[in-house]
Chain A
Amino acid sequence: MTDIPPISVQLLSDPKYLCGVRELVAAVAGRLGFSEEECGQIKLAVDEALCNIVRHGYQRRKDGQIWISLSPICNGQDVTQLRIVIEDEARQVDPGTIKGRDLADIRPGGLGVHIIREIMDEVVYEKREPTGMRLTLVKTRCSCPASKP
């Protein structure tokens, strides 16, 4: 066994590169057995996480570094979960303050964290040493054979 994730991507915090990463993540999730709906959800969650790094972390600077890695989690031969780790060197914030906004307050913006938490089964924000933040996302396959009755 190795802890090296099978896929790691490094990108700059430029919005025009987000489409390539989200398509890659969705394609890999599909190949691992996630349903089309789940792939769409994972794609959206990853995109929202990257958008938040670009907008809030790097404050729209386009030259910040972002790393994303994907690791399947298996139960025997079956892939049951996908772990996605997204790291940056952007400004650090207290993870406890990262919350989605009240949806009853209809206004532009502030939806990203809510969407991520709604879609993914595990969402963990933490400070990364020596700089930046780390976000770990886990999605469990609803369609995996082990979860069927």
Chain B
Amino acid sequence: MEHDYLISTRTELSGAATVVSPSGDIDLGRSPTLRAHLKQVQSKKPPRLIVDLGLVEYMDSSGVATLVEALQTARKQQASMVLCNMQDKVRSIFEIARLDTVFQIVPDVKTALEL
């Protein structure tokens, strides 16, 4: 894991939603940190998990796999998971992997909170 990797987390809607905001590239070196962070967040079973990707400029398949794992956990918890603020460069890997229709992807956190 890379120890200097920053991920911020905040709760919204009186605890009904948790917003996780990773930053920088999510690649093979950093995805274990994100995976551990999401596991910790999901252990509290938030009804809605929002992953704000606005500060993520690059993601490889290890990052995508981490988000797929989180989605599966959310479904088991009967919770929802929403991705937002996705940059075009990041969106393209979801399109190549045909996961853009599997995830709920919205333009911004505000929209994700209003769902």
Contacts and interface: CB of A to CB of B under 8 A. Distances in A.
A108 B60 CA distance: 12
Interface string A81-97: 00000000000000000
Given A15-B29, A16-B29, A106 B99 contact: yes
Interface string B18-41: 000000010111000000000000
B98 interface: yes
A57 interface: no
A111 B29 contact: no
Interface in A30-73: 40-41, 43-44, 47-48, 51, 54-55
Given A108-B66, A115-B96, A18 B27 contact: yes
B12 interface: no
Interface string A2-38: 0000000000000110110000000000000000000
Chain A contact residues, majority secondary structure: helix
Contacts of B61: 48, 51, 109, 111-112, 115
B28 A55 contact: yes
B64 A111 contact: yes
Contacts of B13: none
Contact of A115 (B69, B89, B93, B102): B93
Contacts of A103: 97-98
B97 A114 contact: yes
B68 A19 contact: no
Nearest to A115: B96
B62 interface: yes
Contacts of B104: none
Interface string B47-82: 000000000001011101110110010000000000
Contacts of B65: 108-109, 111
A128 B13 CA distance: 57
B27 A119 contact: no
Given A44-B60, A108-B65, A115-B61, 11 more contacts: A16-B2, A18-B28, A41-B92, A106-B68, A107-B68, A107-B72, A108-B66, A108-B69, A108-B72, A114-B97, A118-B96
Interface of A: 15-16, 18-19, 40-41, 43-44, 47-48, 51, 54-55, 103, 106-109, 111-112, 114-115, 118-119
Per CB-CB distance, the 6 closest pairs between chain A and chain B, nearest first, are A15-B29, A108-B65, A111-B61, A15-B28, A108-B69, A108-B68
